[in-house]
Amino acid sequence: MGRRLGGDPTGPRELPLIRAAPIVAAILAASAVSAGTSLEESLARVDAVASEFFDAAIKFDCKESIVWDGGSASYNYIYIRENGKTQDFRSYSGLSARDPMTPVLPEDNGVPRYLRSAFLWFQIFRQARWQHHRYSLVGETTVLERPAFGIRFEPVPPIRSGVNDWYGTAWFDAETAQLLRVVARTPDAWARKLDMEQALREAPSLPAYRRVLFDVETITTEFGVEMRGLRLPSNVHVETVEYEVRGSYPKPSRERTIGQTWQRYKKYRFFSTEAEEHLPPPAALQRSAS
C-alpha cells in the first residue's frame, strides 16, 4: 500500500492508507471467528473481504479535517476504484461539483505529518502480499464495542515501498472480518522503538548520568463509520512520543508527546461509477499520489 506518509520525519513531522451488495455478501459468508481459528483461516477470511472491496467498482467522497499542533485544514477526500485501479486524492470540491476537481497536497498547506490514505490497510492482508509479510495472531479483545481478533504484521526483507513497508497490528471484527483498528509504524520508527528497548535492557548496568532520547512515531487508524454494510475510516492519529532512557533506570525516566496530527472523516457520499466528467487530468492525479 505504500507508506502514504506526508512530511519529513526528521524535520516537520507527513505520513506515508460502491457496489455494496457483493461486499456485504462476502462479509455475511464469513463465519464468526472462534478461539481455535488458525492464522491461515483468519488470513483467508480477511483476504476474502479485502478482495471483494478491491474488486468492486466504488466511488465516494467524504469530508476530511486535519488538525495538528498549530494549525488545521479541511478537504474533500475522493476515492475511486474502477477497472482494478485506485485513484484517491484531496480536493476543495467534491464529486458533485460542477467544475473539474483539482488535487491539493496537505503539505502545501503546512500540514506537517499525515497519513496519505487511510483506506488501503487491507492491502497488507491480501493473498498477493502474504509472501512479503510475516503474520501472527495476537489474541482477542473488544475494539469499537465489537469482539475482535488481532493479526500482527511485519515485512519480510527486502522492504519494498508500497508493498511491505509497515510494522504493526490490525484488529478485525470477529463476525465480519472487517477492519476495526490498525496501529502501525514505519520501518524507521520501528527501528527506533527497538533501539529504545535495547537501551532499556542495558540501562540498569550503566551510570545514572547517561541519558539518551528516542522519538517514536505511531499511526493509529480507526474504522468507526458504518455505512452500506461497510466499515470506513473515522479518524487517524499520528503521534510522536519522545522517550528518555537514563542509566540505572529499567523504564523510561520520561516520555512526552512532541508532535501529533488528527485526521477525521465524516459525511461519506457514494456515487455511480458511470460519471467521469469530474476527474482531474492524469498528470494532476499522478502528482497527488507521489
- Identify the pLDDT of residue 175: 96
- Distance from C-alpha of 105 to C-alpha of 107, rounded to nearest angstrom: 5
207 contact partners, CB below 8 Å, separation of at least 6: 247, 248
For residue 115, give the nearest of 218, 190, 214 by alpha carbon.
218
pLDDT digits (tens), the chain, 290 positions = 334 566 544 333 334 333 334 444 444 344 444 456 799 999 999 999 998 888 888 899 999 999 999 899 999 999 998 888 888 999 998 887 777 788 999 999 999 999 999 888 989 999 999 999 999 999 999 999 999 999 999 999 999 999 999 999 999 999 999 999 999 999 999 999 999 999 999 999 989 888 999 999 999 999 999 998 889 999 999 999 999 999 988 887 789 999 999 999 999 999 876 434 444 444 443 433 33
Burial code (b: 16+ CB inside 10 Å, e: under 16) for 115-146 equals: bbbbbbbbbbbbeebeebbebeeeebeebeeb
- Identify the pLDDT of residue 34: 47
- Identify the pLDDT of residue 55: 83
3-class DSSP assignment, residue 187: helix
Let me know how long the chain is: 290
Phi, psi dihedrals of residue 171, rounded to the nearest 5°: -115, 130
For residue 149, give the nearest of 110, 178, 122 by alpha carbon.
178
Q: What is the pTM of this model?
A: 0.82
- Identify the pLDDT of residue 17: 31
Measured CA distances, 260 to 14, 66, 111, 219, 263 (Å)? 11, 11, 11, 10, 10
Q: Which residue type is seen at 111?
A: V
- The CATH T-level fold of domain 5-288 is outer membrane lipoprotein receptor (LolB), chain A (2.50.20)
For residue 118, give the nearest of 269, 267, 237 by alpha carbon.
237
Q: Where are the beta strands (DSSP E) in 235-282?
A: 235-246, 254-270
Opening angle at CA 8, ends 166 and 181, nearest 5? 35
- Identify the pLDDT of residue 52: 87
- Its sign, for the CA torsion 109, 282, 238, 178, is positive
